[in-house]
Amino acid sequence: MTDTSTDTSTDTAARCGSGSGSGSRSDQLVFFVNGKKIVEENADPETTLLTYLRRTLGLTGTKLGCAEGGCGACTVMLSRPQPPTGRVLHYAVNACLAPLCSLHLVAVTTVEGIGSVARKLHPVQERIARAHGSQCGFCTPGFVMSMYALLRNNPTPKMADLEEAFQGNLCRCTGYRPILEGFKSLTVDGGCCGGKGRDNGCCLANGSAAETSSQEVADESACLFRAADFAPFDPTQEVIFPPELMSLVTNQRPASLCFQGERATWLQPCSLHELVLLKWKHPDAKVVVGNTEVGIEVKFKNMLYPITLAPAIIPELNEVRHTEDGVLFGAACTLSHMGAVLREEVQTRPAHQTQVFLAVLEQLRWFAGLQIRNVAAIGGNIMTASPISDLNPVFMATGCKVKLMDKDGSRVIPMDNAFFTGYRKTVVRPQEILVSIEIPYSKKNQFVSAFKQSARREDDISIVTAAMSVTFCHGDVVEDLKLSYGGMAATTAMASTTATSLLGRRWGGELLQDACHSLAKEMTLDPSAPGGMVTYRRTLTISLFYKFYLTVLQKLRDQGVSVEAVQPNCLSAADLHHPETPSGVQVFQAMPKGQKDVVGRPMMHLSALKHATGEAVYCDDMPMYENELYLALVTSSKAHANILSIDPSLAETFPGVISCVFAADIPGSNATGPVYSDETILADRQVTCVGHIIGAVVADTQLHAQRAAKAVRVQYEELQPLVTIKEAIAAQSFYQENGTIQDQPIRTLQRGDLEAGFKQADRVIEGEMHIGGQEHFYLETNVTLAVPRGEDGEMELFVSTQSASKTQSLVAKALGVPANRVQVRVKRMGGGFGGKETRTTVLSTVVAVAANKLKRPVRCMLDRDEDMLVTGGRHPFYGKYKVGFLKSGKVVALDVSYYSNVGNSMDLSLSIMERALFHMENSYSVANVRGRGFLCRTNLPTNTAFRGFGGPQGMMVAESWINDVAQSLDRPAHEVRMLNLYMEGESTPYNQILDQLTLDRCWDECLSRSGFHERRAAVDLYNRQNRWTKRGLAIVPTKFGISFTAAFLNQAGALVHIYTDGSVLLTHGGTEMGQGLHTKMVQVASRVLGIPCSKIHISETNTSTVPNTSPTAASASSDLNGAAVHNACETLHRRLEPYKSRNPKGSWEDWVKEAYFDRVNLSANGFYKTPDLGYDFDSNSGRVFNYFSYGVASSEVEIDCLTGAHKNLSTTIVMDVGHSLNPAIDIGQVEGGFMQGLGLFTIEELHYSPGGVLLTRGPGSYKIPASGDIPTRLTVSLLRDAPNEKAIFSSKAVGEPPLFLAAANFFAIKDAVASARGESGLSGPFRFDSPASTERIRMACSDQFTHLCPAEPGPFTPWSVQV
């Protein structure tokens, strides 16, 4: 290196003042966005690309979903030429993690840059929209950009490429199937046949005619969209890389850069020499390439790194070089690049040399999402030193070597037992740089395997990860053995004692037995270990070794070595998971011939195209007001405590802070709550949960407000919290209606003679079940913008809420003004699911108080971790039951008690418990029944409405006892279920007669479409042939009551204006959150007025147009608002009728103009209330529901008994939605609801500490289903010829009922577990709580490995508790 390099490094540091401070100057940051050159003079190292796009450039199509790179809503494409070829590499990244300063001479493409509704749609945008792959639309730009980036690199991708591209993208609405199906048309696997491929519809539906129906039905349709209508995709027409940028990149010599921010400095050296000098000078500086770890530490752990070194352009750190011993990767090589290189090596080298590479590739398959792998560096992965790293165990077990360098020289050290010295610590000295890692070729007799076990297969952190390498001499004698585990200690750990004890041994049964016993002793965990699941993790260390043992044994036999044979029934244990491409069939009733209007057509969501282009405006996308401020919450860190003092003095000194807001600033009432005023807007004397809002800080920017909020000091006097249902039961802490706490149930529902019923029974069993809570995980978190109007106390609020009127009334109460001074406007929500029914007011009231105090507009959008902490979710339930039944399986008596974990206030918990009781028998007729509900008062954030509203919990316990009956009789569960199904004319426990019952039709069609009996025989055969993988099959019905259980809410209003040009403005009381309500309302108006949908527009939901609206909830919004719209349009139709009669050949516009000139009122309001509703618990009389929605699902799964992982093989759903208003939207709701239920019952798990702290606060730790979780074969059929006279145009509600059908997957898993238990001699009913997590599945499959790791006796504090 020459002296000039040294000068450069000194200059770089000096130019920036070697740290934050005034007087230093920054370099210009030059990059391009959508082809436009951006020159930023003041680039701040703490600003992300996402913030810059949204706040500085006003490009709001890119969304904020989580701020941790876990949801993909912020996906954009980066492009840069690759030296030395100059070929432009395009790659998808998470804009929420990408530091602005890392983008020098990079081209950024956002969703706005590839197409628009006004200009021209890109084929990617068109296909996701027209294939109905967008519901709420908040995740859609992210999916569009992931697909677009894939096509820019590979114009002819396979489905496997597409599935990999979406590993980092989450959707909470659609269930993924329509997204994959729309984009499948862009792959080589799935081009369109132009409608020629199948007799009954599109080839892209992927089903065979036999699958669709046993007998062809003339009026059945299976085509929701026509792929032949898509605009063709021409890769030659893509936007070119900006020529000016290409010239800048090729003509400029690499130069060092410095960017100075408010608190931090970004130094980008251009040579290795300069980097080591800077690291010597700043040994505590963070070295950042992808920012995937440091970005999260800064955002969520409040870390501040004054100096950042960015070595991404240094050639030595990006090199890939072949050595004698292996392949050497520079530390700044991305994981994607490493994967591509190793895949090429595997294809070109002899198999015996690539064992290590294959193990690395196996881990990379499941390593985060593609957006993360595209930027995360190998060096960062090593230096983060995570104890649950996926790759470090492989590097350690296979003897990888790393090169370290400082200004005095370099050294090469092995990644062995000594490399990691403690939690997130390594032997690398502070002034050293990690330069490279060498991954070795494997030897002739070496076998290597890598394993990862996580809650969800795609994009999930490990529970336990392992790598194992064995080398043999003399055929099967162990010469060398390395066993490396992550998730079993504070560092990646080697099982050295076990490995050493097996050297010189022959690979066989004795070695296996000794290894398992040794691992059980060596790989221990403290029972209080972070992460919990201690017994499961210990069992995994043995189970994974057993998989390795079988794999090696099989390979030795394949090589002709004389070893024990692997038993045929054990072979599947060694299989690696290779996902199959999912396929789907959707069946619905075709429209009658001759019908001209749009009702019943699979019409696209009205906003779908705008979703796909990023032009749909959500609350936080609204342009900033000139004097707008940003608010951040101050929340409690204690679950139960008295507040001794609040000191904001330090926070008030922070830059940009305008004011702090506390309870004393509330002009009206601090008491709030949707039903009972048992909450405070801002806590003043006591906090009753972690996340209880105490105050807020208002500042000029979000970053300033959030930093200052963390500096508000609160002193507490801690009180003993109650966290779990068990603790509440022990303390008799139950809510009563009047707000008091007593030991009685809040509701009891009883019919028949319970005592006589149990006497009549041949057998009586008792059981219990716990159903975990669920986070809503709407992609758009809670957001409010409050704008004071300057006179008479008027306030305008833009809110993402399902309940505009409730927001209006609670804000008015807080401000001490009448409701007529507060206007609430809702354009659309990025998902709601019940979570935005009442809990949005927690934020809206605080923002309104702040705006009122400062007389300026105030905005707040919660970060994902805040939203999860503050807003509560689905109620955890505990059910205890006693059931009496005859030998035939007929249930004759049921006594069930439900306990729900309500949290620190009532919210809607009473209504939720009532609905649970109304669904306690699910679809089964029980003559003698009693249900009791207890509301447990605890110190958790109050739980609230969530799709299903208590119904799923009530029905889940019912399915548990019906399953127990079948198991105790040793009868097939489907037979016992069928025997007990309701029949037409029977009465429910609340004395409602079931008429127009279609449950039996749904059941029979589901059996037939799924080929249930054939599948049952095939599953039983599979289970006889396989010991360590088992399949399960279940069929589960649902009966869901439609209406608000609070009768007064069953009302709706609408307002329809016809303008003189013939255009129609429609307003109704419902809100749009992705469920397609506005689309259906336009279809209704279109039919009644007899005009095309294009003439009708819905702008927003607004309290000033339709007052006193019920929340958009209870699946009843289409029924209620549809009838109100119908009423208003009928009025207008009648007013226009004389002009139509007078001028039958005239146009709509003619009739409207004539009526106007005749001074006819062209505005009408409509109203509807559901008739004959009202129920009394005391007398058990009255009519609870207007009608019922029915459905049945059959699911088949496969479990891995050794790890607890499961695969959803197939699901068939038959749903009665009456005469569907829009089959595309209704099937979307069925699939989306089912996938949300799949999360509830099999994946999603909230973890709380014993002190009431929520430990799972984002997509990194809380897992919703990903696209890889959908059933490989998914069939959805809407029941034909099932009109429902009680709702608009004979339709039925569809939002909530399908969610429970995912219980079929849960009970299919339980069926598979029962088969595994049978191998260990266990039979009969067993407790199996929900969700069916990997831990629960594995530990329920009791076997010789679980027996080696018994639970620790004695008292200890667990990491998390079952709340």
Tell me whether the omega of the peptide bond preceding residue 1331 falls within 30 degrees of 0, making it cis: yes
Q: The tokens of 1285 are what?
A: 């006279």
CA 1312 to chain centre: 26
Provide the mean pLDDT of the chain.
Answer: 94
- Would you state the pLDDT for residue 217? 66
Give the pLDDT mean for 403-409: 96
Contact 1125, 1085 (CB under 8 A): yes
Contact 871, 842 (CB under 8 A): yes
Query: With left for phi above 0 and alpha for psi between -120 and 50, is residue 67 left, alpha or beta?
Result: left
- Would you state the pLDDT for residue 1351? 86
- Would you state the pLDDT for residue 795? 98
In whole angstroms, give the CA distance from residue 1177 to residue 63.
46
CA 1165 to chain centre: 39
- Would you state the pLDDT for residue 22? 42
Which tens digits make up the pLDDT trace of 482-492?
A: 999 999 999 99
- Would you state the pLDDT for residue 576? 86
Quick check: 11 pLDDT over 90? Answer: no
Give the pLDDT mean for 853-859: 98
Quick check: 9 pLDDT over 70? Answer: no
In whole angstroms, give the CA distance from residue 1083 to residue 1221.
8
Contacts of 374 (CB under 8 A, 6+ apart): 91, 92, 93, 334, 335, 336
Give the pLDDT mean for 1069-1083: 98
Q: The tokens of 1237 are what?
A: 């239920």
On the CB side of 1345, CA atoms within 13 Å amount to: 26
- Would you state the pLDDT for residue 413? 97
Query: Which residues participate in catalysis according to the annotation?
Result: 1296
Quick check: 205 pLDDT over 90? Answer: no
- Would you state the pLDDT for residue 1046? 94
The confidence band for 1354, taking pLDDT boundaries of 50, 70 and 90, is confident
Percent of the chain with pLDDT over 70: 96
Which tens digits make up the pLDDT trace of 916-952?
A: 999 999 999 999 999 999 999 999 999 999 999 999 9
Contacts of 1011 (CB under 8 A, 6+ apart): none
Please give the single-letter amino acid code of residue 1112.
T
Give the pLDDT mean for 1156-1170: 98
Host H or E run for residue 935: strand 928-937
- Would you state the pLDDT for residue 209? 34
CA 906 to chain centre: 26
- Would you state the pLDDT for residue 745? 93
Contact 504, 1304 (CB under 8 A): no
Q: Is the Cα dihedral 1097, 1100, 1105, 1107 positive or negative? A: positive
Host H or E run for residue 257: strand 257-260
- Among 731-740, 1001-1010, 1082-1091, the range scoring the smallest mean pLDDT is 731-740
- Among 47-51, 738-742, 830-834, 1008-1012, the range scoring the smallest mean pLDDT is 738-742
Which tens digits make up the pLDDT trace of 1289-1338?
A: 999 999 999 999 999 999 999 999 999 999 999 999 999 999 999 999 99
**Residue bearing the bigger pLDDT, 298 or 261:** 261
Give the pLDDT mean for 11-25: 56
The confidence band for 1160, taking pLDDT boundaries of 50, 70 and 90, is very high
Quick check: 192 pLDDT over 90? Answer: no
Quick check: 3 pLDDT over 70? Answer: no
- Among 192-201, 967-976, 1123-1132, the range scoring the smallest mean pLDDT is 192-201
In whole angstroms, give the CA distance from residue 766 to residue 592.
51
Which 3-state string (H, E, C) describes 1233-1283? HHHHHHHHHHHCCCCECCCCCECCCCCCCCCCCCHHHCCCEEEEEECCCCC
Nearest in space to 691 (alpha carbons), one of 1246, 72, 1240: 1246
CB atoms within 10 A of CB 456: 21
Nearest in space to 990 (alpha carbons), one of 681, 1322, 752, 691: 752
- Would you state the pLDDT for residue 91? 97
Which tens digits make up the pLDDT trace of 980-1012?
A: 999 999 999 999 999 999 999 999 999 999 999
Which tens digits make up the pLDDT trace of 333-370?
A: 999 999 999 999 999 999 999 999 999 999 999 999 99
The confidence band for 193, taking pLDDT boundaries of 50, 70 and 90, is very low
The confidence band for 432, taking pLDDT boundaries of 50, 70 and 90, is very high
Contacts of 1339 (CB under 8 A, 6+ apart): 535, 536, 539, 1204, 1346
Terminal C-alpha separation, the chain: 62
The confidence band for 196, taking pLDDT boundaries of 50, 70 and 90, is very low
Host H or E run for residue 914: helix 909-918
**Residue bearing the bigger pLDDT, 580 or 379:** 379
Quick check: 210 pLDDT over 90? Answer: no
Give the pLDDT mean for 160-167: 96
Which tens digits make up the pLDDT trace of 240-276?
A: 999 999 999 988 888 999 999 999 999 999 999 999 9
Which tens digits make up the pLDDT trace of 507-545?
A: 999 999 999 999 999 999 999 999 999 999 999 999 999
Quick check: 296 pLDDT over 90? Answer: no
Which tens digits make up the pLDDT trace of 1259-1301?
A: 999 999 999 999 999 999 999 999 999 999 999 999 999 999 9
Contacts of 391 (CB under 8 A, 6+ apart): 360, 363, 364, 367, 378, 381, 382
Quick check: 693 pLDDT over 90? Answer: yes
